[in-house]
Amino acid sequence: MNLSLEALTGLSLPSVIADLAQLRITVFREFPYLYEGSLEYEMKYLQTHLECQESLIVVARDGTRIVGASSALPLNAETSDVQQPFLERDFDPKTVFYLAESVLLPAYRGQGLGKQFFEARESHAKNLGGFTWAAFCAVQRPPDHPSRPANHRDLDAFWGARGYAKRQDLKTFFSWQEIGEVTQTPKPMTFWLKNIGG
């Protein structure tokens, strides 16, 4: 493997949006998301990043092949379903930097790229200035979910080691089409927060 990371912003983002869309479809098909993805849905979802000059996509490459990506943007540039839980708890969206997703092909996991994704996004937020919080959300699945693999490991310990705390008071719903569904249905999401200073 010949791994490298590149942080892209602004006008550079369109060059990797299609790769990020395909990675999201591939990785989020796994448990716990079970996402029946489509490029049409993806391109609509990722438009938010293209419209925000402060957004960031960190790309992991093996040689020239993109094998992982991680994105982030200010919360006040996100959609209402992402912002609403924070508004209800009196957070100022302008002080929250939203870590939208990290996706990495299975063969490249366990080599430190996930940690570097967090570091790069937090560094970007600090360079922009004015952010007190970094936040992301994760889908909530019951322990006895029928599609949970026997060897599945939640990422709670990994996120906690990065300094993030699960906030049961910050919840929302995202809708997507799950494998086996005929249409999109809402899925419960819980946010994790880290204080990254002012």
Q: Which residues, in sequence order, are CB contacts of 115 under 8 Å at separation 6+?
A: 162
DSSP bridge pairs for 175:
186
By the 10 Å C-beta count (0-12 exposed, 13-18 middle, 19+ buried), 182 is classed as: exposed
The pLDDT value given to residue 41? 85
- Answer whether 103's CB lies under 8 Å from 27's CB: yes
pLDDT score for 198: 56
pLDDT in the model for residue 71 = 96
Low-confidence ranges of the chain (pLDDT < 50): none
Beta 96-104 vs 133-139: how paired, if at all? Answer: parallel
| Angle value at C-alpha 17, between 30 and 129, nearest 5 degrees | 100
Which residue, among 123, 133, 117, 124, has the nearest Cα to 75 in the 3D structure? 133
According to CATH, the topology of domain 3-195 is Aminopeptidase (3.40.630)
Instruction: Give 44-100 pLDDT, tens digit per residue.
Output: 889 999 999 999 999 999 999 999 999 999 999 999 999 999 999 999 999 999 999
The pTM of the full predicted model, rounded to 2 decimals, is 0.95
Q: Are 45 and 28 in contact (CB under 8 A)?
A: no
pLDDT value of position 22 = 93
From 31, 35, 9, 11, select the one nearest 22 (Cα to Cα). Answer: 35
Q: Is 167 left (phi over 0), alpha (psi -120 to 50) or beta?
A: beta
Residue ranges covered by each domain of the chain:
3-195
